Structure formats: structure tokens, C-alpha cells
Structure 1
Amino acid sequence: MSLTLRGKPFPVAAAPTASAPPAVEPVSSALSDTLDRIGFSRVQAVVIALLMAGLFFDSLEQNSTGAMGTLLKESFGIGNAELTLINTVTVIGGLVGRLIGGYIADRWGRRAALSLNLLVYTLGGLISAVAVNYEMLLVSRAVVGIGLGGEFTVGLAILAELVATRHRGSLLATLNISSGGVGNIASFGFFLLVLGPLNGALGGDHSSWRWAYVILAVPAVLVVYFRRYLPESPRFLLSKGRVDDANVSLTRLACGTVSGLRNPGPAEYFVTAADVIPPEGRTSYLEVFRGRNLRRTAAIGAASWMSFGAQVTLLFLMPILLQSRGYSLSDSLAFTMIMNIGSLLGACVASYLAGRVRRRLTVSAAAVLGCVSALAFAVFAHSTALILVLGMIFQFFTMMLNTMLSVWSPELFPTSIRAMGASVVNGIGNVAGAVMPFAALFFFDVAGVAGVFVMIAVMYALLVVAARFGPETFGKSLEVASERALA
């Protein structure tokens, strides 16, 4: 029996009958081979677009506190320490959201977690817009963090499970092109527009930031609406023994047309009950810290701490650092936006390399070059031209590094705990994002801008060491890379 896929015969298993059990491929390769034959079509492009849309809002929210920091301080009568606390509670909320989202994704499904994430985020953003005091703003930013926390890691998990092995690295990296690349540039452009030319029309300094939160929150509801067409991960469905549902999902992925996502027609038999791989343990966070999962969590979690901690520190503090050198708020936002062109290029280069170069080599090289660029910024970035050029170079390696780690994390864990494992690894980076800006403020008070970048250079040096203990997953199917029984 075969299905015609884009004009070519596509072999599928025969429907099971009482007299003739279906012929199946080996347990180790049936699902991955099916996805490899499906390859990349408009369906996968739509899936990526729906995931990237949510991550775009994630990036804008992540940068909002730093970009609007001066106005928030004036509106609520707070200082740098209180402003840093806003960033901290958002990051902590993100950690909680990652853990909740990861559990929901591994227990009840990837789609359910993704829809819930954005609904909670929208609620928190609207509460931020009407905050009447500093305490209310803190609570609302924690809610925003919870909503967006699981967006990235659950997105990584479902995309890793929906695409062919040969495309997996490059396509996972495209999520960071939206979040850390386009999102970082667009975020500071958005805040420059809202707090600059549109500031008067939106009520001036004491209300324009409120409208910014509204503008960021409302469109997320549209993303939730269209995400109902996302196919559930067939790997997740098989891990739960839901063979028929897995075949429906694979039929939608194999149809090759966007309309097929809504109405794929009769389900074809790509996999059978013989292809179910029993979970290695319970759907529990305890499994993330057992056996070889613990070693993987420790190695890539430590790398995530260094990488994400450095990124959040710079995104949060860069406008403040530039204003300390005499630049205006508008200039500092414009400069930060220009520097983040490097982020976009770094994510694009990572997307290219993720499909061609081993994970450990790419991560280690990016960390070494990031360390060098951080030291160069600390020593030479005194003029406007050098600030922009060295800032772009540093952001290039920062985003290249973060993108490669995000590609690596969902490849480390078996299907039954993939979203939770990726959430823990990335959540460790969240904790760093909450803690390291305080450390950076200490070094800023002691040694100025140079002190902050020297701290970041040391973090990248430690990252190189941590990455050496991570398992190599390049070119391997998820079953071979992470399912212990098949490794």
C-alpha cells in the first residue's frame, strides 16, 4: 500500500486485520524513517511559523524591562535595584512556567501546553498595563514569565519530534532566528517607536509604556487560535500507546499541503503497536536527574547557565550601560537595536551549522570567540563606532551559542521526559538570568562597563569546559540519541 506524496509513491503499512498482521519496520527506525521520507514541505513550514510567532512575543517581553526601564523608574519612583527585581521576577516566573509547561507537555501533550502558555501570557500583559503600583507590576511580570516560560522549550520538543533527522538541527535553530534574532531587533525598534514618535499620542511617559504592554499582549490570542491546527507530536502519541492518533498526525504531516492540516482525509497506517517504545520511567522530573539523564542535565545545564546568564545580563543592562556613558534613552535603544543585527546573523549562522557540524565543536568554538569578543568590548569600546561594531560581534557569538544549546537540549532526553528535560536545562539558564544581572551590577559599580564584560568572558570560558561533557547527538535520530534501549 502506498500514499502519493507530492507526486511520489510513499510506502505505508497496511491496515491491521485479524488474519494478516501488518508488516512493520524495525522498532528502532519505523517512526524516524517515516519522518525522514516525509521530509520538509509547506506543512512543516506552517508548524515552524506558528511556533516562531509565540517566540517573537517572548523576545519582546524579555527585552521590555530594560528598554522601558527609565520610564518605569519615573512612574513608580524606583531605582536600579527595584528595576532589576522586575527582570528577576519575570525570569523566575519563566522558570516556573518552563517546569509547568514541560510537565503538561509530557503528560497531556505538546499542543495543550503551547496554547495554555500564550493565554496566561496575555493575562499577565494586560495586568501589567493597568498596574497601579510597583507591587502589582511585579506580580503581573511574574505571570507573564509563567506564560512565556514553557513556550520555547515545549516548542523545541514538538519541533524536534515532527521533522526529519537531517533537517532537525537547522529547523530547531530557526526558532531562535525569530526569538533571539528578528525578535531582539524588532523589540528595540518597537520600543523606540512607542517611546519615541508615538509617545505623545499614547499619553506621554507615564502611560506610553502601558500601551506597549497592551500591544504586546493582544495579538498573542490570534496565535492561540491558529495553533489549533498544529499536529500533535507522533512520538508523544506513540509513547502513550495512542497508535491511531499517531497515524492521524503522520497523515497530516505527510499531506504536503496547508489545507491538509485542517482536513487530512482518512488516516494512513505508518506505524503500528509494534512501534511503541515503552517509557524508561515515569513521567516525572525525577527521571531528569537519574542515570545518564543526570549527566546530560548537569553538563548542558551548566553550559546553559553561562550562556543564558550572559545573554540576559547584556540585554537587560545594555541600555543602562550606554546611558551611563552619556547617551540618551533614544540613542541607547537605537544602539542596542543595531547591535542585535549581530544576534540575527548569529542565529542564522547557527541554523546553517546545526545541520552540518557536530554540537560540541560548534558550542565550544562559539564560547571561545564570545569570550574574546567580550574582552575586546571591555578594552576597546570607547567610541560610538567601536561600541556598535564590537557590540554586534559580541551579540553574534552570544546568539550563535545560545541557538546551538537550544538545538542540543531536546536531543538529550527520551520522549517521555523530553519537554521536562529541555525545561530543566533551559530553566537552569533562567535562574542565571535572574541572578547574574545582580552580579553584573556589582561589577559595574566596581569597574564600570569593563567589569561587566570581564565577568561575561569568564562565564564563557567555563562554558567551554562544561560543553566537553555533553553527548554528541549530531546526525542521530532521536530514538538512537536519547532512547536508552535503542542507543
Structure 2
Amino acid sequence: MTAVSRTTASPAPSSGGTVASVLDSIGFTRAQFWVFLLVLAGEFFDTLEQNSVGAMATHIKGSLQITDVQLTAINTATVIGGLVGRFLAGLLADRYGRRFSLSFNLLIYTLGGLLSAVAFDYDMLLVSRLIVGIGIGGEFMIGIVMLSEMVATRFRGIAIGAINVGAGGLGNFLSYGLFLLLLGPLETPLGGGDAVWRWSFVILAVPALLVVLYRRRLPETPRFLLSKGRVEDANRSLAILASDSLRPTQERPKVELTLEDLPPVPFRSSPAAVFHRLVLRRTVALGLASWMAFGSQVTLNFLMPTLLVERGYSVSESLLYTMIMNIGSLLGATTAAVIAGKVGRRAAVTVAGVLGCLTALAFAAFGNGTATILMLGALFQFFTMVTNTTLATWTAEVFPTAIRASGASIVNGIGNIAGAVMPFLAVALYGSFAFAGVFGLAAVMYAVLVLAARFAPETRGRSLEDVNEKTLAPAGATPAHQNPSGGNTWKP
């Protein structure tokens, strides 16, 4: 994406428009590019942190004298924390703003990471990873929701897809390169096997503090401000987004919003509204798809290094091979970003899901030799990332502004639950059927994902208001400027 500078000054700003039309008119500016980078930075650390325990599993087990089941429980604690964090972050983002929630998430994550570094036993590490999970839980979806509300309709899918290129794709690839470096050449200088994993947690936590400091310059999204009736603040936010930097500006947007431009309010800002009959089909469809897609991804990323070690590969070999497989993740996320503006969400998820299912079946049948493991593993990661990147974009598009953060976080949290549950089932299947059991499970999950995707609305090329407020608002719904408390005409 290339940032395009636009002039925001206008001698006589016109009034009457929508957030979508104003954003569509300014294109993609340098200010929006800075928003993109600040969101990406947090997502990148999120990915590194999610992969850390799996990559350092052997060292943690040896240092704290814990079993495979306890190690899996540590991953589960992180995932459960992520579920709590997603729910909390969505609630905070819908009530107090996307910017507040995003900074809060990263601060909690940093605290948990530093506690992990000094954990003196299994129980303390378990608690610290729970805190880490709470911190990173809301980071992913709140960042994507924020970005989706701040860019033009035609750039929305590409921008969100590009976040996953940097975080999910490049992040997954570089994370294993980083851990290979830390657990290889740098292991002895960092104190050996008992200390290197602790330093790894510090290295991941400290830079995140810098991101928190820079995120203070992020503007709030104009859609959130408008949903709260803060029209003047929404116009200021639009003026910043139309400029060349994130510094506050005295300029005005070319088209100013007024109270008459506020859309109807079909929902009050409440997590319960995510399960209202008007959006229940969307919640269930994408929630089930997220369970299958994110559950299989978390399971395989967490277990792959350990599974390779237990098949006779060294720790260094397992990390190197896992990194090679994640080249597929990088290419998959890039592909999803490139096609986001050209291919519908449903079509992308369906095709990638079917091919991912077939690849998993091939892995289950033929994944024995090193070359076959690397090839099929990379191919599976490719289709996984196409699916997950598209689902993340889709999830941020199918809820009204008042409940967008809560809705996206809850749907993504359903996938988070799968990440807590499915590794236990995968470990059991691996014990009985080796790789065939693990990837056979993944194949079944992807088949269900494809069916679930049929029931969510297509969003490509449509404004968020067209997908949501205009479509979902019941007849006679109260206009937002007549109902500033955020109420509505129905009872959940």
C-alpha cells in the first residue's frame, strides 16, 4: 500500500455526508499509513508471544521439570486469558473507544511477559501466561476493527489483509527465526537452557512499551465518535486522517458530518446484542468458522516443534523446519491481502478451506519423510493463512458500530476457545495415530468451516453502514442524534 497525501483544507467545507463517503474521498493518506503501522506493531508482538511457549517448550520443561500435559496447560492458560481479554477489550472498545482499549491491552501484555521471565515455578508461569493472554487477547481484533473504521471501503480488505501479512505471515516466519537464534548461537551467552527462555520473554515484552507510547498519538475512529453523538470530534478525527501526520490539526474535512448524518441505532452498546436475532446468524456462522480455522492454526503452531522433536528431530531442526513451513503462512497472508479487493470473502474462505482440507488429508496419509513434511506443512500453512486472514477481515465487517468491537472479539474468542481445547485432543490423536491423527482432525475442522461460511453476508465492496446499520435497523429505529444515550427500539 502506498500512502497518498491529500489536502484537508477547504475554504468552505460542505456538510452532509457519511463517514464512508468522506473516507472514500480522501483515499489512503500518510496519517492512515501511520495508523496501519502502529496497529501492525502490536499485532506483530502478539504473534511472537503466541509462538513463544511452543518454541521454547523443551527448555521450559527441563528448567521447571514439568510434563507435556502441564506444558499444554500453560498454552491453555494463555488461550483462556485471551478469551477473557477479548471479551474485556471488546466491551471497553465499544464503551470507551478503540484507542483506549488497544493501549490497555498492550500494557497488560507487557506486565505478563515480564512476570513470565521471572517465574520460579510452574504455578507462577501458569498465572503469568494467563495475564499475557488477557493482554494480547483483544489486541488482534480491536486493532483490525480500528483499522476497518478508518480507511476507505475499497482499501479495507487490503489494509486488514496487510496486517496479517506483517503479523500472522511475517510474524510467524520471523518468530521461529528469532527463537532459533536465541536457542542456538545466543543460548550460552544468555545463560544456558535454564535462563535463555526467561530472556526471550523479556526481549518480547520490553519493545512493546515503545509501541504503547507511540500509540498515544492515535486518533479515535470517526465511526465510534459518531456513534456516540460526538459529531465535532468525529470531524476532527476525519481531518487528521486526511492529513500527512497524526498530529492534531485545525483544518476541517472537505465534507463535514452533521447530526443528520448519524445512522439509525439498531443496537445499544452491549455484548448481549451480539446474540440478538438480527445478527445471530452472523455470529454463529463466523463463530463456528473461527473455531475451526483458528483452532487448527493455534494447535499446529503450538504442537509442531514438540511433535517434530518427539519424532527424533533436534530442537534446532524442529524450529528450523517449523520456520520453513511458515513461509507458507507469509505467502498465504500476502495472497489474501492481494485478492481482498477482487474476490468475495465467502469465495476466498470456501476455496482456501477446501484446499486446506485436502492438504491436511494428504499430510495425514503421506507426511512421513522430511521433504514431504516440509512441503505439505508449508502448503497447509498457506491455505490456513488465506482462510484466517479473510475471516479476520470478514469478522470486523459484519457488526454495527455500537457492537462491532464486542462482536468481532466474541467471534474471534470462539476461535480462542478452540485453541485452548483442541491441542489436548490433538495430543491424544497423535499418541494413537501420529501425524495422521493430528492432520486428520484438521481436515475435518476445515470441512465444517467451509459449510459455516455459507451463512455469513458478503461484504466486499460495501460500506460498513450498508452491511450493518442500513440492513439491520428495524423499521422505525431511532436515529442516533435523537437517541444520544445509545438506546434502541428493541429489547434484547
Instruction: Please tell me the TM-score bracket, short chain as reference.
Output: over 0.9
Taking a change above 3 Å as real, the CA distance of residues 7 and 164 of structure 1, as seen in their structure-2 partners, is closer
Name the counterpart of 2:77.
89
Query: CA–CA distance in 1 between the matches of 2:57 and 2:78?
Result: 14
8 Å CA contact retained: 2:363, 2:376: yes
Name the counterpart of 1:127.
115
Task: Within 5 Å, give how 1:32-111 maps onto structure 2.
Answer: 32-111=20-99
The one of 216, 236, 249 aligned to 1:264: 249
TM-score (norm 2): 0.93
1:10-36 Cα offsets, whole Å, 9 max, x none, are 87974xxxxxxx7423xxxx2111000
Q: Does 1:195 align with 2:187?
A: no
What amino acid does structure 2 have at the position aligned with 1:320? Answer: T
Name the counterpart of 2:317.
331
The one of 223, 240, 263 aligned to 1:235: 223
8 Å CA contact retained: 2:9, 2:251: no
What amino acid does structure 2 have at the position aligned with 1:31? Answer: V
The one of 368, 382, 385 aligned to 1:399: 385
How far has the Cα of 1:8 moved from its partner?
6.5
SS in 2 for 1:372: helix
How far has the Cα of 1:485 moved from its partner?
5.4
Query: CA–CA distance in 1 between the matches of 2:256 and 2:342?
Result: 29
Name the counterpart of 1:451.
437
What amino acid does structure 1 have at the position aligned with 2:180? Answer: L
Taking a change above 3 Å as real, the CA distance of residues 13 and 32 of structure 1, as seen in their structure-2 partners, is farther
SS in 2 for 1:219: helix
8 Å CA contact retained: 2:10, 2:252: no
The one of 266, 277, 280 aligned to 1:294: 280
Query: CA–CA distance in 1 between the matches of 2:289 and 2:93?
Result: 24
Q: Does 1:219 align with 2:207?
A: yes
Taking a change above 3 Å as real, the CA distance of residues 8 and 252 of structure 1, as seen in their structure-2 partners, is closer
SS in 2 for 1:456: helix
What amino acid does structure 1 have at the position aligned with 2:57? Answer: G
Query: CA–CA distance in 2 between the matches of 1:47 and 1:263?
Result: 14
8 Å CA contact retained: 1:13, 1:270: no
Query: CA–CA distance in 2 between the matches of 1:67 and 1:39?
Result: 41
SS in 2 for 1:412: coil
Query: CA–CA distance in 2 between the matches of 1:98 and 1:477?
Result: 25
Count how many residue pairs are aligned between Structure 1 and Structure 2: 469
How far has the Cα of 1:41 moved from its partner?
1.9
SS in 1 for 2:444: helix
Name the counterpart of 1:204.
192
Query: CA–CA distance in 2 between the matches of 1:109 and 1:11?
Result: 28
Task: Within 5 Å, give how 1:303-452 maps onto structure 2.
Answer: 303-452=289-438
What amino acid does structure 2 have at the position aligned with 1:34? Answer: V
How far has the Cα of 1:381 moved from its partner?
2.1
Query: CA–CA distance in 1 between the matches of 2:9 and 2:342?
Result: 27
8 Å CA contact retained: 2:264, 2:470: no
8 Å CA contact retained: 2:15, 2:258: no
Name the counterpart of 1:17.
none
The one of 104, 112, 124 aligned to 1:136: 124
Query: CA–CA distance in 1 between the matches of 2:6 and 2:71?
Result: 58
What amino acid does structure 1 have at the position aligned with 2:38? Answer: L
8 Å CA contact retained: 1:13, 1:24: no
SS in 1 for 2:313: coil
What amino acid does structure 2 have at the position aligned with 1:339? Answer: M
Name the counterpart of 2:19.
31
Taking a change above 3 Å as real, the CA distance of residues 421 and 198 of structure 1, as seen in their structure-2 partners, is same
Gaps of 5+ in 2: 474-492
Query: CA–CA distance in 1 between the matches of 2:6 and 2:95?
Result: 37
Gaps of 5+ in 1: 15-21
Taking a change above 3 Å as real, the CA distance of residues 451 and 161 of structure 1, as seen in their structure-2 partners, is same
1:311-367 Cα offsets, whole Å, 9 max, x none, are 011001101111122100000000000110000000000001111111111101110
Taking a change above 3 Å as real, the CA distance of residues 107 and 334 of structure 1, as seen in their structure-2 partners, is same
8 Å CA contact retained: 1:188, 1:336: yes
TM-score (norm 1): 0.94
How far has the Cα of 1:292 moved from its partner?
2.2
How far has the Cα of 1:279 moved from its partner?
2.7
Q: CA RMSD in A?
A: 1.5
Query: CA–CA distance in 2 between the matches of 1:74 and 1:182?
Result: 29
Query: CA–CA distance in 2 between the matches of 1:398 and 1:385?
Result: 20
